[in-house]
Structure 1
């Protein structure tokens, strides 16, 4: 993968439910993009995953970003099916991407099992570091490929 233009501008929208875990992905996403030469990364925070698609749509409509990433941890809260929330969010992100012609990347994760205890919190914190790096690599690869189509 060739390095991205230093002028590439990327946003990441993260949900604040379980921010102590989700922010690990945001931090590793930013760090990995810096390694790849992207220094223009704006971070936006929303209350939960369900609020992500509207902000992503507005950011895409602004024309300021070459790509927009997202990060959230959607867990079973016992009130409604968390799979429904995650599926709705990811489908909405795909719709934004296709309608706005702006690459949108999902780091909205729904674990099969998550419990509010130290072992799981530590495990998922480490996992989100990896996911943030993988998200950055996906952004870099996709933006590089899209840029090559314009050449």
Structure 2
């Protein structure tokens, strides 16, 4: 996800439209919203006409269940999750992060709906202006990257042969 899409590939992605759900944790909305807004902007630019639905959940731990319900609804081609899990000094963040990422992967594999994560866990986060400014900027970058990865994956999956049930 660190490399921008090539101009030719980006152009080919602009044709289809998709139904994409965005699920955002409400903790640290001043930072997480930057990723969500950047993803919406990138999706609008690369896949105009796509439908983007936004959902907010209390925290990152709630993201996998909401993602599962959205995937099971059959209404979405892909789902992108957004959140910021910080180290509060009691190591709970490691358990939350692991549960969220494993939950998202399980939803993706069980539902066959691609699920993407912009749920980030910085090693060191402090609630001072310098860190908040850095992470706001970083989340803009990650929002764009996850939108690009989402569209590239949808494009790639559309080109795969459909499996024939025996």
Aligned residue pair count: 151
User: Which residue does 1:73 correspond to in 2?
Assistant: 84
TM-score, normalised to structure 1, is 0.95
Distance across 1 between alignment mates of 2:95 and 2:15: 37
Does residue 89 in structure 1 map to residue 100 in structure 2? yes
User: Which residue does 1:116 correspond to in 2?
Assistant: 127
TM-score, normalised to structure 2, is 0.87
Distance across 2 between alignment mates of 1:105 and 1:89: 11
Deviation at 1:37, TM superposition (A): 1.8
User: Which residue does 2:3 correspond to in 1?
Assistant: none
Deviations 1:94-135 (Å, cap 9, x if unpaired)?
000000110000111000100010110000000000000000
Residue of 11, 15, 18 corresponding to 1:8? 18
User: Which residue does 2:139 correspond to in 1?
Assistant: 128
| Two-structure CA RMSD over aligned residues (Å) | 1.4
Unaligned regions of 5+ residues in structure 1, if any? none
4+ residue segments displaced more than 4 Å: none
Unaligned regions of 5+ residues in structure 2, if any? 1-8
Residue of 34, 38, 53 corresponding to 2:64? 53
Distance across 2 between alignment mates of 1:34 and 1:150: 28
| Structure 1, 91-100 or 33-42: larger mean CA deviation | 33-42
| Structure 1, 6-15 or 85-94: larger mean CA deviation | 6-15
Residue of 33, 53, 63 corresponding to 2:74? 63
Asked whether the equivalents of residues 39 and 147 of structure 2 are also in contact (C-alpha less than 8 Å), the reply is yes
Asked whether the equivalents of residues 125 and 131 of structure 2 are also in contact (C-alpha less than 8 Å), the reply is yes
User: Which residue does 2:46 correspond to in 1?
Assistant: 36
Deviations 1:51-103 (Å, cap 9, x if unpaired)?
00000000000000000000100001234421111111000100000001100
Residue of 14, 21, 32 corresponding to 2:31? 21
